[in-house]
Amino acid sequence: MFKIRFSMRFTLGATIVLMGVLGLALALTTGEIYQYQTLENERTALEELVQTSVGEQLHDLEERARDLGLALQSQTEFRRALASGRHDMLVLQLVNQFRQYFVTANIIKLEKLVVYDANYRPLGTANAGALAADNDAPGCPALIERARPRTGAERLRSWTALCLNHHQARYAILVPAGGLKPTGYIEVVTDPVPVLAHIESTLGFPVRIRDARDRPVYRSEAWPPPNAMQHVLVAEHALTTADGEPLLKIAVMRDVAQLQQGLAKTRWLVMTLAIATTLIGVILAFYILEKTTLQPLNNLALQLRRVGSNKDHLGEQVEPGGIAEIRELGEDFNQMARELDRLYGSLEHMAFTDPLTNLPNRARFRDSLEESVRQYTLAHQPFALFLMDLDRFKVVNDTLGHQIGDLLLQEVSTRLRSVLRESDTVARLNNETIVGLEGKMVARLGGDEFAAILPRVSSIDDASAVAHKLLLSMQDPFLVRGHAISIGISIGIALYPQHGVDIDTLMQRADTAMYFAKNNQCGLAFPDTMQQAELI
């Protein structure tokens, strides 16, 4: 039987070519993967930015609507009309509110005002563009149904809700009237779309808003047409009613053409380096064909296949073997591996590091959180999750500008790292060691929100000690470009596994505790008891 016999030259040449193809495939695949990962991380960051900005805009709308309701009930005529229960007098007072500054200056778009008695029966209604409406037409029925079962001190609180009214998105707030013993309630119903459109000026990105039927209700003039979207990144945040019905979709667009060009340039640099190194290897292999052995070449091919199957082997070096010429080939291969490993590390740093503070970002923090859970599974090593949010940071941004705010965030991150330092014992009070925290991580999740993982912290006392150290570190004012800025920090603490055995539950409970601490100005809180700690 005829057998094809290949010369050693051909065999060696084919081996080197195969190595080159695998190297090029690895370089191309690595570039594509990290280009995709980088863009997805940018999209995630933009989505978080949109979500934060939407929350801020709705909070501002709530404050302004509440002020309108409080201004109405402060009027003597309104209190008399409410006490008498006269429909005509109440409607007249409600209609007058549509002429107030907040409404006429387009600070809020007021759609409806409804007055209820203490049992939530409508007494009078006024609509935008109409003298009066039916008395039995609440602006947001879901809000009234949620408020109706309230008793005691709960009846003194203002309640808000997003809802649909005749297929239109509405934001309603229910304000008690009558002081400490409410005699009625005022429902202020507004259109949230104009307020949400301010995100464009806040973030500096074009905005598009669609309603529950996917119909456009607002679109920035700078929003590109559908045929010009190939170099843009769109992040969308959906708002729903309390019942989970779709309400609005707020989308923000960012031009990523420059980022894509940078990623493409890096990818072609990797490809060029791989091609050049492979060609040198082929020429060298044919030159030393007669004086070589196959084993060193097999070692190189084996390493390349390992790299192709697992990128963790990318930076590993191969010990050159054989005669001098083969050693050169091995050294060239190692050089290529080092360069690819360096580029890989650079891309990984871009994908998992916050560019402002140089702290790990949300994606890296979540990976570390997952690793902490795995460590508990393997070694029963508990840990504490700290979610931290700066107090009064928005005031700094609004009064001194975002540039000062960014510098302040950098100073905060430096101070946090100095408290949670790299030494084994990072929290001391009165020269007493509280706990060893090797392997801890401090990260910036976005905006003015930070987080930390503290290994081997398993008790409320230990976690409180570290948290008090953090609170103490924020007492001294920050000096930023001649400004002495005093801010605080609110800390929500969740212990694993006491407060949750999965990441999402742990994050949610720590987040709830953080907002409890912020709303109650108590510095820190735990999710199970919402235990407060005095601000130091």
Q: Which of 52-56, 256-260, 451-455, 528-532 is predicted with the least confidence, judged by mean pLDDT?
A: 528-532
Confidence (pLDDT) at 438: 46
pTM passes above 0.75: no
Residue 173 pLDDT > 50? yes
- CA distances from residue 55 to 209, 240, 408, 470 in whole angstroms, order as listed: 15, 13, 22, 27
The 8-class DSSP code of residue 501 comes to: S
Q: Which string of b and e fits 321-332 if b means at least 16 CB within 10 Å?
A: ebeebbebbbeb
Which architecture characterizes domain 362-525 according to CATH?
A: 2-Layer Sandwich (3.30)
Does an H or E element contain 123, and which?
Answer: strand 122-127
- Spell out the domain ranges in the chain: 8-47+258-352, 75-194, 197-255, 362-525
Q: Which of 94-98, 111-115, 144-148, 202-206 is predicted with the least confidence, judged by mean pLDDT?
A: 94-98
Q: What is the mean pLDDT of residues 154-175?
A: 87
Q: Are 186 and 177 in contact (CB under 8 A)?
A: yes
Confidence (pLDDT) at 308: 66
Write out the catalytic residue numbers.
Answer: 448
30: tokens are 């690595």
Of the candidates 356, 382, 380, 510, the residue with the CA atom closest to the CA atom of residue 443? 356
The string of pLDDT tens digits covering residues 440-480 is 689 999 889 999 999 989 899 999 999 999 999 999 999 99
Phi-psi region of 143 (alpha: psi -120 to 50; beta: other; left: phi over 0): alpha
pLDDT band at 72 (very low <50, low <70, confident <90, very high): confident
The CA-based angle 520-525-529, given to 5 degrees, is: 105
Confidence (pLDDT) at 18: 74
Q: What is the mean pLDDT of residues 46-66?
A: 89
Residue 429 pLDDT > 50? no
Greater pLDDT, 460 or 428: 460
Q: What is the mean pLDDT of residues 496-505?
A: 90
Three-state helix/strand/coil letters over 427-466:
EEECCEEEEECCCCEEEEEECCEEEEEEECCCCHHHHHHH
Q: Are 314 and 292 in contact (CB under 8 A)?
A: no
Of the candidates 457, 534, 531, the residue with the CA atom closest to the CA atom of residue 497? 457
Greater pLDDT, 460 or 287: 460
DSSP 268-300: HHHHHHHHHHHHHHHHHHHHTGGG--HHHHHHH
Confidence (pLDDT) at 466: 92
Average pLDDT, the chain: 80
Q: Are 478 and 412 in contact (CB under 8 A)?
A: yes
The 8-class DSSP code of residue 360 comes to: B
CB neighbour class for 446 (10 Å; exposed up to 12, middle 13-18, buried from 19): middle
CATH number of 75-194: 3.30.450.20
Confidence (pLDDT) at 255: 82
Residues 6+ apart with CB under 8 A from 132: 91, 94, 95, 124, 125, 126
Greater pLDDT, 122 or 31: 122
Confidence (pLDDT) at 423: 37
The helix/strand/coil state of 4 is coil
Confidence (pLDDT) at 512: 94
The string of pLDDT tens digits covering residues 395-412 is 898 898 999 999 999 999
292: tokens are 């070589």
Q: Are 115 and 124 in contact (CB under 8 A)?
A: yes
Residue 199 pLDDT > 80? yes
Confidence (pLDDT) at 80: 85
